[in-house]
Structure 1
Amino acid sequence: MSNQRLTRELRHPTLSAGRALRLSASLALLALPLAGCGTGGLWDKFMAKDDTFVDEPADKLYNEGLYLMNEKKDVKSATKKFEEVDRQHPYSDWARKSLLMSAYASYQAADYDGCIGAATRYVTLHPGSPDAAYAQYLIAASHYDQIPDISRDQGRTEKAIAALEEVVRKYPTSEYATNAKAKMEGARDQLAGKEMDVGRYYMQKRDYTAAINRFKTVVTQYQTTRHVEEALYRLTEAYMTIGIVGEAQTAAAVLGHNFPDSKWYKDAYNLVKSGGVEPEENKGSYISRAFKKLGLG
């Protein structure tokens, strides 16, 4: 094409459009004879109505999902119904309700990843909804229900605590905040139990410094868990063994002050007495400060 002709067509795009229209018409004429070929013809197949996907009323799908979940106990099928509401009627109020029910149904079926996904989407799309607190709680509960035993990695426990803290932070006056706090204590107890398990292992290996670091974590971070009494005793034991008597006396004294009836205190008391000293608290010790911080000292 000459430069002059190219310039004319760039200045008058309707000329190119006209050529394109004539080309399309020619292709259409060529395609028409194909309509009579084969079973039904390509044209008939192209023009045929596709009845594979038929929209159903949102309320009908939603109520079918409720029926399947509550009456038939078929949670998987119920979840599909709720997901279908969202697919067919994405901007309806029924879609919002169905998204929350999908999260709940997944939780009931122990499909925790599915629950977390649906609930997270709900909180993202509807942060101001009255049910957003419940969706956030479902996320936290899904993590919490997957907490492993103390012999395994506690990454899931840490995720549970973070999600539970989010419930309390975002919705402090909701009914779910109280449940979240209770679950949080259970999760924290699990982390403390893991620290104790590892600390005892190091004690058996006579690696007292490593053991002390584990028990120290329990005393400074998990004072309200059921493991703190033993942690104070183990600190008394480890410090006496390596000759840091002052810290041993403090651990025993703090244990006796906060848990005077504990069997661990009796053992700690006898241990320091066997070393020729009495339990005596050093107010500058990290052990003392940890309990003073909580008003327990």
Structure 2
Amino acid sequence: MKKSVRLISAVAISAMFILGCSSKDDKEIVPDKAPVLLYDDAQQALQAGNYEKAAEVLEALDARYPFGPHSEQVQLDLIYAYYKNDQGAQALANIDRFLRLSPTHKDIDYVYYMRGLTNMSLDGTFFHGLIGIDRSDRNPAYYQQAFADFTRLLNRFPNSAYAPDARARMVGIKDRLAKYEIAIAEWYIKREAYVSAINRGKYVLEHFPNTKSSERALELMLEGYTQLNLEAPKQTTLQVMKQNFPTNSWVR
């Protein structure tokens, strides 16, 4: 019995020690200053590109002074710091919190824009592209959400300063989504599921007509029609190919 009491006491003391150290470490990381001075520290960190430190200071500022003079700007800066520091989950949590609590804020277009950027960063295929790995077969759920975010931005704020960049990014997102559909169509071709491959090709042409994947979509459709001996739709598809991609091997 005495042994159990000693064990419980030891655990309690250890927990108190850990909590004490944690509190001390927090104070050492972010000194106890007036909110204006802390905000200045955060701004200096942001300007210096030290996004980890900026996030730490902004988190402390938000926790210690949630109703301070810079409370909404702190949230906006924290979203940006999280995004730049590759903390996408935290950025999205703060974005959704801001949209819920301040839906009429003057910078709400920026928040939608950052939501799109953050979802794009969470997709992961951009990094793969930089090192030469094609992961177009990866589920594009984050890119689909980013597309929805940018669409919402353009619908609500067509004249926003962030609208031009959002439109440009949507072009790239469409290409990414089209490549995903192509990857699935190619998978169907390998497994001789030609009808499914043809339908995926049609989907690309219908929803992503001006992307780089259009030519490949037509090729896969032609392959499917050939394997199924469907001459009439094959000839129609060949005409579309000839009009849009006259040098393709299917029309030579």
Cα deviation, residue 130, structure 1: 2.6
Whether 1:215 aligns to 2:191 is no
Cα deviation, residue 77, structure 1: 2.3
For 2:86, which of 110, 135, 138 is the aligned residue? 110
Whether 1:119 aligns to 2:95 is yes
Q: C-alpha separation between the residues in 1 aligned to 2:113 and 2:106?
A: 13
1:180-203 per-residue CA deviation (whole Å, 9 max, x = no partner) reads 122122122112111111212222
Equivalent pair of 2:137/2:179 in contact (CA under 8 Å): no
Q: Which amino acid aligns with 2:183?
A: D
Aligned 1:11-30 pairs, distance under 5 A: none
Whether 1:269 aligns to 2:251 is yes
TM-score by length of structure 1 reads 0.66
1:267-288 per-residue CA deviation (whole Å, 9 max, x = no partner) reads 2224xxxxxxxxxxxxxxxxxx
For 1:137, which of 90, 113, 121 is the aligned residue? 113
1:73-110 per-residue CA deviation (whole Å, 9 max, x = no partner) reads 43222112212332333233411111100010111101
Q: Which amino acid aligns with 2:192?
A: R
Whether 1:63 aligns to 2:45 is no
Aligned 1:1-297 pairs, distance under 5 A: 56-71=33-48, 73-147=49-123, 148=125, 149-260=135-246, 263-264=247-248, 267-270=249-252
Q: C-alpha separation between the residues in 1 aligned to 2:192 and 2:85?
A: 46
Q: C-alpha separation between the residues in 2 aligned to 1:194 and 1:121?
A: 31
Cα deviation, residue 160, structure 1: 1.8
Q: Which protein has greater RCO, CA pairs closer than 8 Å, 6+ apart? A: 2
Equivalent pair of 2:78/2:91 in contact (CA under 8 Å): yes
TM-score by length of structure 2 reads 0.77
Q: Which amino acid aligns with 2:60?
A: E
Cα deviation, residue 167, structure 1: 1.7
Cα deviation, residue 55, structure 1: 6.7
Q: C-alpha separation between the residues in 2 aligned to 1:55 and 1:111?
A: 25
Q: Which amino acid aligns with 1:187?
A: I
Of 224-233 and 122-131, deviating more is: 122-131
Q: C-alpha separation between the residues in 2 aligned to 1:233 and 1:187?
A: 22
Equivalent pair of 2:215/2:245 in contact (CA under 8 Å): yes
Q: C-alpha separation between the residues in 1 aligned to 2:183 and 2:137?
A: 8
| Residue number in structure 2 paired with 1:292 | none
Q: C-alpha separation between the residues in 2 aligned to 1:234 and 1:151?
A: 16
| Residue number in structure 1 paired with 2:12 | none
Unpaired runs of at least 5, structure 2:
1-26, 126-134
Q: C-alpha separation between the residues in 2 aligned to 1:123 and 1:55?
A: 29
| Residue number in structure 2 paired with 1:47 | none
Q: Which amino acid aligns with 1:160?
A: A
SS at match of 1:175: coil
Of 247-256 and 78-87, deviating more is: 78-87
Q: C-alpha separation between the residues in 1 aligned to 2:229 and 2:245?
A: 25
Q: C-alpha separation between the residues in 2 aligned to 1:109 and 1:65?
A: 14
Unpaired runs of at least 5, structure 1:
1-51, 271-297
SS at match of 2:122: coil
Q: C-alpha separation between the residues in 1 aligned to 2:32 and 2:101?
A: 23
- Cα RMSD after superposing both structures: 2.2
Q: C-alpha separation between the residues in 2 aligned to 1:179 and 1:151?
A: 26
Q: Which amino acid aligns with 1:99?
A: Q
Equivalent pair of 2:241/2:251 in contact (CA under 8 Å): no
Equivalent pair of 1:233/1:252 in contact (CA under 8 Å): no
Cα deviation, residue 168, structure 1: 1.5
Q: C-alpha separation between the residues in 1 aligned to 2:156 and 2:91?
A: 19
1:15-43 per-residue CA deviation (whole Å, 9 max, x = no partner) reads xxxxxxxxxxxxxxxxxxxxxxxxxxxxx
